[in-house]
A and B are shown apart, each in its own frame.
Chain A
Amino acid sequence: DQQVKQNSPSLSVQEGRISILNCDYTNSMFDYFLWYKKYPAEGPTFLISISSIKDKNEDGRFTVFLNKSAKHLSLHIVPSQPGDSAVYFCAANFGNEKLTFGTGTRLTIIP
């Protein structure tokens, strides 16, 4: 039972344009959502997060939007840069800190 889903395995975006990565979840108990970025042969690196009491959180070029009624969140990267090419994982948890991850989306920024 995949409680966190990233339905797009890959995404290609031109440098300078906006990258939008999507994530859906099924467990309505989740109250905290995180995005991690992963380069090959490295561990995931925390990128940005959002609590369920908010619908938007922004940090520089990265913005996460949460739509609780749709059980959907998205990560916007603008402008996209070549160094953003990586695999992005959406994760969620509630209370007890155990993270449930999606399967990841491979983002490729085309120069």
Chain B
Amino acid sequence: EAEVAQSPRYKITEKSQAVAFWCDPISGHATLYWYRQILGQGPELLVQFQDESVVDDSQLPKDRFSAERLKGVDSTLKIQPAELGDSAMYLCASSPRTAGIAKNIQYFGAGTRLSVL
């Protein structure tokens, strides 16, 4: 069964350092999402791509976060510099290009657990 791949699974860094997370969506999925989940809360969207274009980055803290999906396939999310409050699970999800109900279902990767010390 096809899966969304994310790496690394865990990342420990010191504040003010740079970190990067990678995501490879399910093959053929046009839409890719990055979510952040803080312990005890539900995932919140950071950025959404349609192919290589950003559709929604209204909740992305652009002074320190950046995201790219250069060839419309895999994606990288970067934080520089990391702050203590960035400690969270970073989840990547993808959804197919098809219209209708199937388009609304998002498939998630296992996530990257970030701890900022």
Question: Which residues on the A side are within 8 Å of B104 (C-beta)?
Answer: 32, 34, 49, 93, 97
> Are A96 and B42 in contact, CB atoms less than 8 angstroms apart?
no
B79-117 toward A: CB 8 Å interface, digit per residue (1/0)? 000000000000101010000010111111111010000
Question: Which residues on the A side are within 8 Å of B48 (C-beta)?
Answer: 97-98
**Minimal Cβ-Cβ distance residue in A for B10:** A41
Q: Any chain B CB within 8 A of the CB of A60?
A: no
State A96–B95 Cα separation when bound (angstroms): 12
Indicate which residue in A41, A49, A96, A99 contacts B110 across the interface (CB closer than 8 Å): A41
> Are B43 and A44 in contact, CB atoms less than 8 angstroms apart?
yes
State A36–B108 Cα separation when bound (angstroms): 10
Known contacts A32-B101, A97-B103, A98-B48: does B42 contact A89 (CB below 8 Å)? yes
Question: Which residues on the A side are within 8 Å of B43 (C-beta)?
Answer: 44, 89, 99, 101
Interchain Cβ contacts within 8 Å, total number = 59
Closest chain-B Cβ to A87's Cβ sits at a distance in Å of 10
Which residues 78-98 of A sit at the B interface, judged by CB distance below 8 A? 89, 91, 93, 96-98
Known contacts A34-B105, A42-B110, A46-B105: does B56 contact A98 (CB below 8 Å)? yes
Indicate which residue in B44, B101, B111 contacts A43 across the interface (CB closer than 8 Å): B111
Closest chain-A Cβ to B106's Cβ sits at a distance in Å of 6
Question: Which residues on the B side are within 8 Å of A51 (C-beta)?
Answer: 101
**Minimal Cβ-Cβ distance residue in A for B31:** A97
State A104–B48 Cα separation when bound (angstroms): 22
Question: Which residues on the A side are within 8 Å of B45 (C-beta)?
Answer: 98-99
A1-31 toward B: CB 8 Å interface, digit per residue (1/0)? 0001000000000000000000000000000
Question: Which residues on the A side are within 8 Å of B95 (C-beta)?
Answer: 97
On B, residues with C-beta under 8 Å from A are 4, 6, 31, 33, 40-45, 48, 55-56, 91, 93, 95, 101, 103-111, 113
Cβ contacts A to B, 9 pairs, < 8 Å:
A4-B42, A34-B104, A41-B110, A43-B108, A96-B56, A101-B43, A102-B42, A104-B40, A104-B42
On A, residues with C-beta under 8 Å from B are 4, 32, 34, 36, 41-46, 49, 51, 89, 91, 93, 96-99, 101-104
